[in-house]
Amino acid sequence: MVGYHHIKDEHTEKSLFRSRALLAFILILLALVLLALRFTYLQVWKHGSFQAQADKNRIRVQVVAPSRGMIYDRNGVLLAENKPAYRLEITAERLARPKVSGKRVSRQAALETTLAELEKLIVITPTQRHRFLRKIQQVKAFRPVSLRLSLSEAEVSRVAVNRHRLPGVEITPYLTRYYPGGDAMTHLTGYVGRIDEGDLKQLDQDNYLDNTHIGKTGVESYREALLHGQSGFQKIETNAQGRVLRVLEKKDPEAGQDLILAIDSRLQLAAWEALGDYSGSIVAIDPNNGDVLAMVSKPGFDANLFVNGITQSDYSRILNAPDRPLFNRALKGGYEPGSTFKPFVALAGLEGGTVNVDTRVFSSGEYYLPKVSRPYGDWKKGGHGWVTVRAALTQSVNTYFYELGYKLGIDAMHDYIQMFGFGQKTGIDLYGEGVGILPSRAWKRGRFDQPWYPGETVIAAIGQGYNVATPLQLASATATLAMNGKRFTPRLLLGLKKYGHKSTDWLPASEATLVPVVDPKNWAAVRGGMEDVVNSATGTARLISIDAVYRIAGKSGTSQVFKLAEGQEYDAQTIDRRLRDNALFVAWAPAEAPKIVVAIIIEHSLGGGSSTAAPIARILLDQWLLTADQVEAISSDALTQRRSVE
């Protein structure tokens, strides 16, 4: 086989091959070195950045929402809790997809079948269905998507029985906020609702990543930071599809703190009940520390409707109700204080030296300003005769205060009375507090750019005209009077309880501020006048002292909603309900050592302050000051009896 290479030169060919092979090897070596350098560049030089990218690929931080703190009243009665509820979820990838003529039905078709089955078992509104279908298109097939929240017991059991026929359908427990107190507590606790765009701008988003709800009104809103707690997180490893494979690191959330409110829910409910069908507001305060014992605004509404998204029909029903149930009257409602304002005017006059406790003024039933022919009338025709300040308060003599007001002047009146908190926020721990109006020359100039007229001083002195006060301001001011000038900021939050801790951290009351006392005799006269309102034969609210085992001091008031034309007679029975007068009553007891102050405002009352509002005060004072047995002993018809004497 060797011999025929007569032309080919084996040796030259071989060396040619070897030189080419060597060249090839050198080039290959160079190329592989370049490749190795490329690996070195990626794996050593750029390692840190790629390591970070690999971790970013696989590690996701999931926020775990903390459980929200509960709200209790001062006796441990629950006002807001987290109640287990059930939602129905569907996971697309687990849906049954039977074969129809050899081919699996589409996921969409399987979804339709499942929804049709579910509609036989639970209620699904078109909105819920629409929202669900949109969501399930957007998420990965292994993620459950919720179709319905807060299933009823019956729905849960109906779905549970049929579960074997409904693969991919899951009933998942979750916690939802629940307010067991009903309408009476709603304005106080407020409610949580879904976080909206407005909330997002304000809150610390990192702490709310997995939260859907936030306090919207009331204590829920004001104490959001305490109730919410601190979000936890878990670092999870996911694969390329986003499925969670394992938890790498975990920090448990810190549950929100439980709040103990100063509210006494029995008193709150008693106040709510006592208002009956009337709209209105009641605020009860412990004058010794500012604790708000009751704070009622009626009508209320069911806060639970708002928690998981209120339906449009429910919302418009509540929003458009004529008596405005969404409006927190106790906190924001502005009312003419009427005669309940007189004690403060009296003190202003006495302490400022305009009058003294013995100054007597003749009440003829009419009062004329100098050079003004129009009379300012009294509620009692013919007047009350000669009265001192004490009697003027007892009988609520308008003419006495007309004259006092006129002599005092609006600015002196304003400067003194503002020390009781009128015309400014009380500083209670709630958002949205009303300011009210305590008029003065400067105020009128600023508000209307008009001068002040003497006639306006006269009616301001009986708590009318421009005067506007919130029920809370009225209660707080009356408490200051009851405490001889010692004044506390009203507060709802009494104590805090950390999750899992047994002991409660009780918060100290605010520092008391003092209204200076010039002469204790002046205060005694005013307080005496108010005691006489309830306890003397001429007192306007004398009926509520019947059977009382403690002494009550109080002041009634009636303020017009509708200005009568001259000569027109007011008749509560015939006038339109919305135009009827508001009835007011402020009171404290025991008179000598006050433990509770109440301010009651009844809108569009059939009777005046003394006949409609005062009996409610008695109920509340009994409720707070007497034992349960004693309250029981006072027959329930005592109220009706007291009312019928009228």
- Write the Ramachandran bin of 185: left for phi over 0, alpha for psi from -120 to 50, otherwise beta: alpha
Q: How far is the CB of 209 from another protein (least distance, A)?
A: 23
* Number of helices (H), then strands (E), in the chain: 24, 25
Q: How far is the CB of 29 from another protein (least distance, A)?
A: 7
Sheet holding 553-559, edge to edge: 291-298, 280-286, 596-602, 582-589, 553-559
Q: How far is the CB of 27 from another protein (least distance, A)?
A: 9
Q: How far is the CB of 23 from another protein (least distance, A)?
A: 9
Nearest-10 crossing angle of helices 441-448, 410-417: 100
Instruction: Look at the alpha carbons of 468, 451, 460, 345 in this order and tell me if their dihedral is positive or negative.
Output: positive
DSSP string, 300-324: ---THHHHT---HHHHHHHHH-TT-
Q: How far is the CB of 232 from another protein (least distance, A)?
A: 24
Nearer to another protein, 32 or 154 (CB): 32
Nearer to another protein, 37 or 372 (CB): 37
Catalytic residue among 265, 339, 556, 559: 339
| Residue 425 CB coordination number (10 Å) | 17
Tokens of 201: 């701008």
The H or E element spanning position 510 is none
Q: Which stretches of 327-373 are assigned E, i.e. beta strand?
A: 361-363, 366-367
Tokens of 533: 């309102």
Distance CA 195, CA 211 (A): 8
Give catalytic status of residue 339 as yes or no. yes
Q: Are 278 and 603 in contact (CB under 8 A)?
A: yes
Q: How far is the CB of 31 from another protein (least distance, A)?
A: 6
Q: What is the Cα Rg of the chain in Å?
A: 38
Q: What are residue 236's DSSP bridge partners? A: 60, 247
Q: How far is the CB of 240 from another protein (least distance, A)?
A: 4
Distance CA 641, CA 646 (A): 9
Q: Are 397 and 359 in contact (CB under 8 A)?
A: no
Residue type at position 39: F
Q: How far is the CB of 65 from another protein (least distance, A)?
A: 27
Nearer to another protein, 33 or 564 (CB): 33
H helices of 517-596, where?
A: 520-535
CA geometry: angle at 385 spanning 381 and 387, to 5°? 120
Q: How far is the CB of 93 from another protein (least distance, A)?
A: 16
Parallel/antiparallel/unpaired status of strands 493-497 and 258-261: antiparallel
Count the alpha carbons within 13 Å of 452 in the hemisphere toward its beta carbon.
Answer: 21
Q: Is 359 helix (H, G, I), strand (E, B) or coil?
A: coil
Q: How far is the CB of 496 from another protein (least distance, A)?
A: 44
Nearer to another protein, 31 or 175 (CB): 31
Q: How far is the CB of 99 from another protein (least distance, A)?
A: 24
Distance CA 474, CA 337 (A): 8
Phi/psi for 36 (5° steps) reads -65, -35
Residue type at position 581: D
Nearer to another protein, 53 or 630 (CB): 53
Cα 192 to chain center, whole Å? 9
Q: How far is the CB of 91 from another protein (least distance, A)?
A: 20
Q: What are residue 465's DSSP bridge partners? A: none
Nearer to another protein, 2 or 628 (CB): 2
Distance CA 168, CA 219 (A): 40
Cα 542 to chain center, whole Å? 36
HEC profile of 63-94: EECCCCCCEECCCCCEEEEEEEEEEEEEEHHH
Distance CA 160, CA 155 (A): 8
For 456-490, b/e burial (b = at least 16 CB within 10 A) is bbbbbbbbbbbbbbbbbbbbbbbbbbbbebebbbb
Q: Is 353 helix (H, G, I), strand (E, B) or coil?
A: coil
Q: Which residues lie near another protein (CB under 8 A)?
A: 1, 4, 7-8, 13-14, 16-18, 20-21, 24-25, 28-29, 31-32, 35-36, 38-40, 42-44, 46-47, 49-51, 53-55, 57-58, 237-241, 245
Q: Are 529 and 387 in contact (CB under 8 A)?
A: no
Tokens of 352: 């400022």
Nearer to another protein, 54 or 645 (CB): 54
Which are the catalytic amino acids?
Answer: 339
